[in-house]
Amino acid sequence: MALAVDDTKGLVRTACTIRMDIVEMLNKAGSGHTGGSLSAADIVTALYFHKMRHRPSDPKWFERDRFILCKGHAAPVLYAALARSGYFPVDELKTLRQFGSRLQGHPDSKKLPGVEISTGSLGQGLSVACGLALSAKMDEKRWRVYALLGDGELQEGQVWEAAMAAAHYGLDNLTAIIDNNGLQIDGACSEVMCVDSISDKFASFGWDTISIDGHNMEEIIDALDRAEAHKGRPTAIVARTIKGKGCSLFEGKVEYHGTPPSDKELEVALKEIKENF
């Protein structure tokens, strides 16, 4: 079972810990993706410390729920959640992107326990999630699949092929969560290639949709519960988020898509994140 946190305040504190881990490991690495890792921290915390059934002591436990980080460049948020869950020592986070480290720039399922699939090529993750969910249906298993996508990632056509397939096969054991922070590496999603309205698009493909504040822990938990209760169709949770959430230096700034915190920025970030404990 997952290492549960019994109350919402506890989950919020855990998300703060995850954010501190993210900025510290990125600062030490000197490279990596700050904005999209921080924007997804609350969502990933709710999954690993409240919703998902998983066993850090037995990463290959067959009845576990599966999590696919479709936006693989946000690996730091996954690494922090895995370490804090107990999949590997927290101290190993300091090795991010170092030569020989298991914590590569994108998740490697062959090297790191708890990583379901190596991700990085945007657009492919939801297809994998569909395959996993379909296999669970065919084998009459109760485990669920959760896929976290970036909003810029929705510009990839394969996402919509997967969305069509998921609805066709009635994959109600699949939940897609869209980290809708509005920014991608080249600027605002609305300017690069507008993906709005995300909810309407998924609904038109036959999905149930839920729109939430992706930084409100109560809304996240409620949406995950509602998704599990939906029958007959997959669910897309569109989570409005802020890129770089947790530190005013990074929030809503596209330049921090792939820029790590400097030493001075790290000091400010840790101070601001701790204020939310």
Number of folded domains that form the chain: 1
Per-residue pLDDT of the chain (277 residues; tens, 9 = 90+): 333 455 899 999 999 999 999 999 999 999 999 999 999 999 999 999 999 999 999 999 999 999 999 999 999 999 999 999 999 999 999 999 999 999 999 999 999 999 999 998 999 999 999 999 999 999 999 999 999 999 999 999 999 999 999 999 999 999 999 999 999 999 999 999 999 999 999 999 999 999 999 999 999 999 999 999 999 999 999 999 999 999 999 999 999 999 999 999 999 999 999 998 8
Report the interhelical angle of 125-138 vs 157-168 (nearest 10°).
Answer: 20
User: SS3 for 102?
Assistant: coil
CATH of residue 136's domain is 3.40.50.970
| Domain assignment of residue 3, yes or no | no
| Domain assignment of residue 169, yes or no | yes
Three-point CA angle 78, 81, 86, nearest 5°: 125
| Domain assignment of residue 2, yes or no | no
| Domain assignment of residue 186, yes or no | yes
User: SS3 for 237?
Assistant: strand
pLDDT at 4 (0 to 100): 44
| Domain assignment of residue 80, yes or no | yes
| Domain assignment of residue 1, yes or no | no
Burial zone of 168 (CB within 10 Å; 0-12 exposed, 13-18 middle, 19+ buried): exposed
pLDDT at 276 (0 to 100): 84
What predicted TM-score, i.e. pTM, was given to this entire model? Answer: 0.96
| Domain assignment of residue 106, yes or no | yes
pLDDT at 6 (0 to 100): 59
Cβ neighbors of 235 (< 8 A, separation 6 or more) are 172, 174, 175, 176, 207, 208, 209, 210, 226, 227
Structural domain boundaries, residue 166: 8-274
pLDDT at 7 (0 to 100): 86
